[in-house]
Structure 1
Amino acid sequence: MHSNLSLLLLVSYISILTGCTTGTEEQVVTISEITPEEILRLEPDADIFQYNDVIYQTNIDWVDELELTTGKRVMTIEENASDPEGFSHGTANLLPIGTDIFEADGRHDVLIADVDDEYLYYMAIVEG
């Protein structure tokens, strides 16, 4: 299911970035940030949180296969929201309040959540 979401997002991004051509004018539309609404509309059971202005998602097969080590702690989950409009920095839909979030050594696009000494990898969901 996660590979289907990744494929759907990739196709959507390519379509958006390609734009449409009318005559000699070319119009390109880009999205700078993926919103919680967009992710949860495509995958209602997604496990996400927001760090600064970026949404991170876990259970992405190829990310889960990485062998990463934790770097410095960058934040703690401060609130839960089931409504995607209630998301801001430090908000998660499934992670418990108080969960520590760490950098992943050597990766700037992955953060690691420590849930009862189990490490979950979260990938930054951004347009590329």
Structure 2
Amino acid sequence: MIRKLYVLIVVILLLAACEIQPDNNEGNAEETIGNPTAEEVLSSSPDADIFMAGDIIYSNAEDIDWVMEADLTLGEEVMEITKQSTNIQEFESGTATELPVGTKIFDHNEHRGAIYIAVVEGEEIRYIGLIEG
């Protein structure tokens, strides 16, 4: 008897925890969660120092203490900046808002998040991937 009561309580809790999703045809807007786009970043911060690698936007991390304090060493080169632009229609992988064309982008040898390192005139500049989730 106690076992049946326990099972019933678990089933009720599971059902209560389930959320019924609204039908989008009823006028409810569906919120999409995904990585920020260049358009979203530049719309809110037109002067943002970003670049795009693949489908990920990387943002200058000079104001993020844990990124700047991390002991990172340059790994392999992952890409080169091929275009400089703030035009969101032109933004694609290899495009940067501030990094000059020809800037080499490197991964790091430590496995500590989505951090890339740009090297400009011998100076290392750290960028962090804007990844949701």
Instruction: Tell me the TM-score normalised to structure 2 length.
Output: 0.71
**2:97 paired with 1:102:** no
Partner of residue 84 from structure 2, selected from 72, 80, 105: 80
Q: How does 1:15-94 map to 2 (within 5 A)?
A: 25-26=20-21, 29-58=31-60, 59-62=62-65, 63-94=67-98
Letter in 2 for 1:113: A
Q: 1:38 is paired with a residue of what secondary structure?
A: helix
Give the gaps of 5 or more residues in structure 1: 1-23
Aligned to 1:15: none
Q: Is the 8 A contact 1:75 1:100 kept in 2?
A: yes
Aligned to 1:112: 117
CA RMSD across the alignment:
1.7
Letter in 2 for 1:114: V
Q: 1:113 is paired with a residue of what secondary structure?
A: strand
Residues of 1 paired with 2:126 and 2:43: CA distance? 21
Letter in 1 for 2:47: D
Residues of 1 paired with 2:63 and 2:108: CA distance? 15
Give aligned pairs, total. Answer: 105
Task: Note the alpha carbon deviations across 1:49-84, whole angstroms, 9 max, x for none.
Answer: 000110000134222232211100011100111212
Task: Note the alpha carbon deviations across 1:80-113, whole angstroms, 9 max, x for none.
Answer: 1121221111110100000000002223400000
Letter in 2 for 1:37: E
Instruction: Tell me the TM-score normalised to structure 1 length.
Output: 0.74
Q: 2:89 is paired with a residue of what secondary structure?
A: helix
Letter in 1 for 2:114: D
Residues of 1 paired with 2:95 and 2:76: CA distance? 19
Q: Is the 8 A contact 1:39 1:46 kept in 2?
A: yes
